[in-house]
Structure formats: C-alpha cells, structure tokens
Structure 1
Amino acid sequence: MFVSALLSATLIVPAADAAKPFEFKDGDRIVWLGNTLVEREQRYGYWETALLAANADKTITVRNLGWSGDTVFGDARAGFDNAAKGYERMVSLALELKPTVIFVSFGTNEAFEGKDGLPKFEKGLEKLLDSLKPANARIVLFSPREFLPSPSLPDPKTANANLALYRDVIKTVSEKRGLRFADLFDAKRSPAGSLTDNGIHLTEIGYRETASLFLSALGIDSPTASREKLEPLRRAVVAKNEQFFNKWRPQNETYLFGFRRHEQGKNAKEIAEFDPFIAKAEDEITKLRKGLK
C-alpha cells in the first residue's frame, strides 16, 4: 500500500492545533519555499503526489520555489547580486503566484551557525512571514530534518543538537503567530534503507519512504492506493514541476534577466511559452487525481 511505500508587547496568538489535520480547500494554490529538501522533492514528486492523493476530492496546485542551499534571507537566490536581491526575488515571486497556502521550510543551513545564530534566524523568519502577509495565505512552518549517520560525514550529534535548537525556534514562532507547525525532525522514525546520499540529502528512495511522515506532520492520513496506481500521477507531477522550473529558473537567466540581458534579453518573451506545457501537465494531474476518488 502507498502508506508503507511513501512513508512583551507582542500579541500571543493561540497556536494552531497540531493534533488536527491541516485543512486543504478545493482550489488551494500552494507555494513551497525552502532549501535543498524542497528543491529536490520536485525531481521525484513523492511528497506532492501523496498530498494530492490524500486530497483527491479537491483541486490543489503546487508551485515549488525551493532553492538548494537557501535560507530565510534568500542568500542562495542572490546569484551575482547581493542577498537582499535574492530575498526580494523569493518574496515577489511567491506573492506573484497568489498562493492560498504557503509551505515554509528553512533552518537546515542556518543551523550551521549554532546557538549564536539563533537570534538572527528568528528575526529573519519573522521578517519573511511579515513579507508574505500580503498573500493572506494559510502558512505552514516545517522543521528541518535531523542528519543521519553517514560514512562521508562526522558524527551528526553536534549538528543535530543545533538543528533541534532551530526547530524549537520555528515551533515558537508558529505558536506565537497561530500557524501550523509541521515537525519533520525525527529521522529515526523513518524506515530503514538508503534514505540519503550523505546523511543529509534525501535520495529518491528517501522521498518515497518519508512521504507518509510528510503527511503525518500535516496531520493527514496516507492514501491507501498502491504505489503502482499512484505512479502515473507522480510522473505527471514531475513533468509539471520540470516545466515550471524551466519557466522560473531558465538555465540562461543571466542572459535573459541578469547583467548580460543586453545580449539575449529580447528572448525573455519566450518564457511565457512554458505556460501551455504547465497547463497541459496540470490537466493530466487533474484527470489522474479524479480517478483516485
């Protein structure tokens, strides 16, 4: 079954009840912000597929804006510009997509700064959430995952202690703002197997085997359809993600939008030509999702 396969003056707002399932609505548009964990998920689509299958009676679209190595400050997105440009890019595109739900998944990279970096991280997370307010979206804050032992890395005990501190900050912020906190931290609950390629980054098997944990963090039961029945939906999700990635992160974006746009900037108009391919993939996702009801 798929369940085993995917496996001060501050106003204190009552925390969202983590025991209750996060409620998705028909027509929800999810924008997913995060680091490597989020960006790599779009390659495999197991988590997104599980989410769609668990809400087969609803039309839900997902736009993955993950960026490997990124932080709440948008550092990795800056390219040849300063970090402020990367942050501006992250927020502006997220708002442009008009989300009704925003998944926020940061903290892994920031945790390398240890305890000393906690105040900076908390301030950055608060700023990001304030910047996303114009969307008026329901927000889920995901914790980072702890590292697993790996022959290629030192003992992860110290790193995991730091990650736990950052997880706790995310939880505190979610409670203060009344947002959903989705805890992905405890990797020990994961099934055995080659979940990561280095103790940190999930492999395809890792995403497949932790999909049920992803849903559990949202309070959602895993779908009961078999892996084989869900495979066409997953392939459609991956195809959609690829087309959307090509649109918002074209390989030659420096020439299209960056400091060399004077050379090929006129071709930027072709970016809109990805839209029909994205729409076609969404139509396929809708057809396959309806077949699961």
Structure 2
Amino acid sequence: MRTFNFLTICGLILITLTGLMNHLEAQSIRTDDQDIQPLDLKEGSRITFVGNSLFEQAQPYGIQEFMLLSAWPDKRLTFRNLGWSGDTAEGSARSYISTPPQPYDLLIQQILATAPDVVVIAYGGMEAYEGLNGLKKFEDNLIRLIDTIHSMEAQPVLVTPIPQIPIEKINVNVKERNDNLALYTQKIKEIAHKKDLLVADLFNNFQQIGQTAYTENGIHLNESGYYQAGKMLLSSLGHKDPVWNIDVNSKTNEINASGDLKITDPGINRKGLEFTVHDKHLPHPGHIKTQSGRTLVIQGLHKGVYTLLVDQQNIVSATAKAWANGVQITQGPAFDKARQIREKLIQINDLYFQAYRPLNRTYLVGMRLHEQEQNAYELEVNNLFINRLEDQIALLLNQDPNHYQLKRIK
C-alpha cells in the first residue's frame, strides 16, 4: 500500500469530498456546467481512439465503432484504434528499444499517421496510481496532447477512466484506488471545460451502475461493459442509443413509430398485417445481452398464435396477448447485417494493430531494420485489406427497406 504524507491525505480528502458533492448535484456524462454543441462530423470522418488498456482491450469487440456507425450511418465513418495497455498521456508505454523517437514523439507520429478528424483520448487510469502527487504532471501532459491534436486540425474528445470494482481475492485498497481515479476524473472534466471539449465521464456513470457484471476482473470491461461505455460515449457526443418501437392497433388501423422510423404500405386487419419499415439505424448485434432490442406492439388481434416474418424470414411467434404487450425483436435481416459489420470492424482493428504494432517491429522499423527492412512493405499491405473492408461496410450501411408481415398460424 502507498504511504502518503499529511498534506497529501488532506488534499485527497478535500478533493474527494468536492467530487462527491459534484456527483450528487448532477450525475451527467457530459461536463455539467457548460453548453457544448454536439459533435458535428463531416462525411468520411476518421475517428482515432488513443489511450491505455480501456481502448486496447476494446479491439476484439468492435462495439464502440459499431455504435458510432449506427449513430451516424450516413457519414461513412472510419476508425483507428491506438490503445496501448499501460500507456499515459506522455506515451510512456510506447517505447521502442532504440531512440529516437522518444515515446511522446512516437505517440504523435502514430496519431498523425491515422489522419484523424476526431481523436478520442482515454488517459488518467495509469497516472492515477501516483495520486495527488502526479496530478499536475498529468494535467500538463494531457493539455500538451490536446494542443498537439488541435494543431493537426483534429477535434479532441476526452474520456475519463472507469472505476475499479471490488472483487474477492485481490489485495488492493479499492477505496484508495477509486479516490485517486475520482481525482483524475475531476481534473479531466476541468480541462474539458477550459478547452470547450466534449467529455464522457465513464467513472461516475459506472459508479452508478457499478456491477461486476460489466468487468472481467473488476478492472477491465467485458462485452457488456463496452456496450455501456459506448452508450455513455454516444451520449457525451450528443447522441443517444437509438430507440426502435412500433405500435400497431389493428382495430383502428393506426401505426405509430419511434425515432427516425418511417412506415409505408400498411395493410392491417385483426387477423394479420403487413407494412414496410424504413430505418437508417442498424440494431446492435443480438448477442450483446444488454442490448435494448426492438419492440413491436400489436393490439387488437383475434385470439391465436401469430408469427412475424421480415423479408420472408421467420423471426418470432407469439400469442395475440403477447403481441399486445409487446414482443422483443432480436433477430432478422437487419441484425444479420449488423453482425457482418461488427465482424468487419473487428477485422480492421486486428489488421491495423498488426500494422502499427508488429511483433517484430525492432527488425522492421527499429534499431535492427537493416536486417529486415525489405519486409516492411508488408505492413502497408494490411492497409489494402482495411480499405477493402471499409468499402464493404459502406455498402452494408446502405439499408434497404424491410417488409414486415404478421400471419396467424394457430
């Protein structure tokens, strides 16, 4: 356990109490005391994620990328993930065996190479181990990084660390750890306020829902955790998780739909119905257990069992009573397309990781490149595959309308 002098302990107590008061006053994932316009993305924007293990361990899920694509389906967004476990805002984990470049210079080179329009920055988790003594250094390093990204004419977005969840058999003072994380979270939000930046406060939001079900080991997020973090990030950018609800009354022949849904070609009676759904957003892939799904309510049907078909694909069967209460739609053509896109996003993350962090980087781009420099071209080959996958994603995002039919089967 770390030892603290008297002034350090007093400082921690004061700042922790201040953070608690702010938390109770307004629990928001955006900076509470400012009015920032939602993120405005142009078509073809490149979003780069940079930070520590929070982003590196997100790569095998592809969730944050998918949720951003679903929020802006007409922008043809592309993504690069530069997460590096153990990293800090000065790039301390990105050290090659040889220098130059220095770690921070390498971090900037890697960001520049992605040609970003938006850089989502998630630091503070590692620096928080230094407690109050390391706070000023972290502030200086983060501001330097923000200013450098601004000089690239890219827009920084800040993300706070996540809290540590107490679990059994870990010899860690979790309260002390979270006190320090709260300290650094508050500093990140203060910097966001001064710089007029969007900020996603994962720390306080995960404190609210703080269940171990969202982490693998109390420290790193699992699939459900990254889904929750994705919703928090979307909200901080001015968007909410898209809601999909359709309410049909077969007695009055009325259809009400939520959000951006548009319904055409309705044909409704008390023994069945059909209509066409135009939706610019894709659902979150069905194997994410925490997904909100899509709810279809059909009131006024005669007693019996009815099956729903979407583009002639059997989706779900339920009684008239169940349809009147609302049935969750968790599969179908749109979900199939969403899974395909997410799989391609995961492939892109893997390919880019291999390109910018090859296992034999010392030989390809480091001090021994004179031995294997002729093979460095293979790193660029990955970009060809990435470009092809991005083109395929763009085609999948061009959604065709889906034809819904409800037929009585019993």
The TM-score normalised by the length of structure 2 is 0.64
Map residues 42-81 of structure 1 onto 2, 5 A cutoff: 42-81=59-98
Map residues 94-105 of structure 1 onto 2, 5 A cutoff: 94-105=111-122
Equivalent residues of 1:105, 1:144 under 8 A apart = yes
Equivalent residues of 1:77, 1:83 under 8 A apart = no
1:32 to 45, 49, 54: 49
Map residues 164-243 of structure 1 onto 2, 5 A cutoff: 164-186=182-204, 187-190=206-209, 192=211, 194-224=213-243, 225-228=283-286, 229=335, 230-243=338-351
Equivalent residues of 1:32, 1:103 under 8 A apart = yes
For structure 1, which segment, 227-236 or 240-249, has the greater mean C-alpha deviation from structure 2 after superposition?
A: 227-236
Asked if 1:278 corresponds to 2:392, the answer is no
Output the CA distance in 1 between the equivalents of 2:123 and 2:142: 9
Asked if 1:159 corresponds to 2:177, the answer is yes
Compare CA radii of gyration and give the structure with the larger one: 2
Cα shift readout 1:9-58 (whole Å, capped 9, x = no counterpart): xxxxxx8635x532333221111111000111111111111111111121
Output the CA distance in 1 between the equivalents of 2:200 and 2:400: 26
Aligned length: 278
Output the CA distance in 1 between the equivalents of 2:90 and 2:400: 39
Output the CA distance in 2 between the equivalents of 1:83 and 1:190: 44
Output the CA distance in 1 between the equivalents of 2:154 and 2:391: 24
Equivalent residues of 2:98, 2:366 under 8 A apart = no
State the partner residue of 1:142.
159
2:366 to 258, 273, 281: 258
Code of the residue aligned with 2:146 in structure 1: it is: L
1:288 to 396, 404, 409: 396
Q: Which runs of 5+ in 1 are unaligned?
A: 1-14
For structure 1, which segment, 56-65 or 191-200, has the greater mean C-alpha deviation from structure 2 after superposition?
A: 191-200
Percent sequence identity is: 38
For structure 1, which segment, 211-220 or 113-122, has the greater mean C-alpha deviation from structure 2 after superposition?
A: 211-220
Output the CA distance in 2 between the equivalents of 1:220 and 1:120: 33
Deviation at 1:216, TM superposition (A): 2.2
**Residue 209 to residue 127, structure 1, CA distance change in 2 (3 Å):** closer
Higher RCO (C-alpha under 8 Å, 6+ residues apart): 1
Cα shift readout 1:67-125 (whole Å, capped 9, x = no counterpart): 11100010100132469712111101212322111111100000000011111111111
**Residue 159 to residue 192, structure 1, CA distance change in 2 (3 Å):** closer
**Residue 59 to residue 171, structure 1, CA distance change in 2 (3 Å):** same
| SS of corresponding position for 1:65 | strand
| SS of corresponding position for 1:44 | coil
Alignment root-mean-square deviation, CA:
2.1
| SS of corresponding position for 1:136 | coil
Equivalent residues of 1:191, 1:209 under 8 A apart = no
Output the CA distance in 2 between the equivalents of 1:65 and 1:261: 22
The TM-score normalised by the length of structure 1 is 0.88
1:249 to 357, 361, 378: 357
Output the CA distance in 2 between the equivalents of 1:84 and 1:165: 31
Higher helix content, 1 or 2: 1
Code of the residue aligned with 2:380 in structure 1: it is: A
**Residue 152 to residue 237, structure 1, CA distance change in 2 (3 Å):** farther
For structure 1, which segment, 199-208 or 110-119, has the greater mean C-alpha deviation from structure 2 after superposition?
A: 199-208
| SS of corresponding position for 2:94 | helix
| SS of corresponding position for 2:47 | strand
Output the CA distance in 2 between the equivalents of 1:191 and 1:165: 18
Code of the residue aligned with 1:241 in structure 2: it is: N
**Residue 196 to residue 173, structure 1, CA distance change in 2 (3 Å):** same
| SS of corresponding position for 2:48 | strand
Output the CA distance in 1 between the equivalents of 2:121 and 2:55: 9
Code of the residue aligned with 1:89 in structure 2: it is: L
Q: Which runs of 5+ in 2 are unaligned?
A: 1-32, 244-282, 287-334, 402-410
1:22 to 2, 17, 39: 39
